[in-house]
Amino acid sequence: MAEASQRVFLALWPGAEVAGRLQHIALEAEKRCGGRCMRRDTLHITLAFLGEVAESRLPLIGEAMASLQAGRFRLRIDTSGYWAHNHIVWAGCRAWPAQLDALVGDIRCALADAGLPVATENAFFPHVTLLRKAQAVAALPEFESIDWPVDAWVLAASSPASDGVGYRRLTGWPLT
């Protein structure tokens, strides 16, 4: 029998206040675009996507991440958009600190060095998915920018849920 595996990714997960503000933007956007609003506890920015990893290999991810050193930074969520190819409405940053690109680069290298799978087909663009199955509109609602202090990143697992996708945070690492 094949070994059990989990569908995993590394991500930034907002605290309750930032998540609440992001959800408010999602609810406002839903009024215009329809679709399905992501639940507040599911909102995140993916840094690196691994996909299915055998459970016996999950500790390798922890070992790879524990070797990284990176400093804290702040994100300013100040823009949103619609992607026609996957019908997603997202919130993101017009610009972001070099530390975030460095963190993503380090994470992806550490995973590859450990022989773990990491998706590299898409250049990194930090965004929070707010709505799925949304319709294109002429303009998304404006919003006051959100200041998101980032002090950790996490390993999360995704699995199908009755109301869409469910994510579980498995472990995390501090930014210092």
Residues annotated catalytic, as ranges: 44, 127
Q: Based on CB atoms, which residue is closest to ligand ATP, 75 or 139?
A: 75
Nearest distance from residue 116's CB to ligand ATP, in Å? 14
Long-range contacts of 160-166 (CB under 8 A, 24+ apart): 163/39, 164/36, 164/38, 164/39, 164/42, 164/132, 165/42, 166/42
Q: Based on CB atoms, which residue is closest to ligand ATP, 46 or 146?
A: 46
Residues 162, 164, 35, 28: is their CA dihedral positive or negative? Answer: positive
Q: Does 7 bind ligand ATP (CB under 6 A)?
A: yes
Q: Does 57 bind ligand ATP (CB under 6 A)?
A: no
Among residues 54, 109, 119, 136, the one that binds ligand ATP under rule CB under 6 A: 119
Residue where the block lists tokens 């390993």: 155
- Binding residues for ligand ATP (CB under 6 A): 7, 9, 46, 49, 119, 122, 158, 165
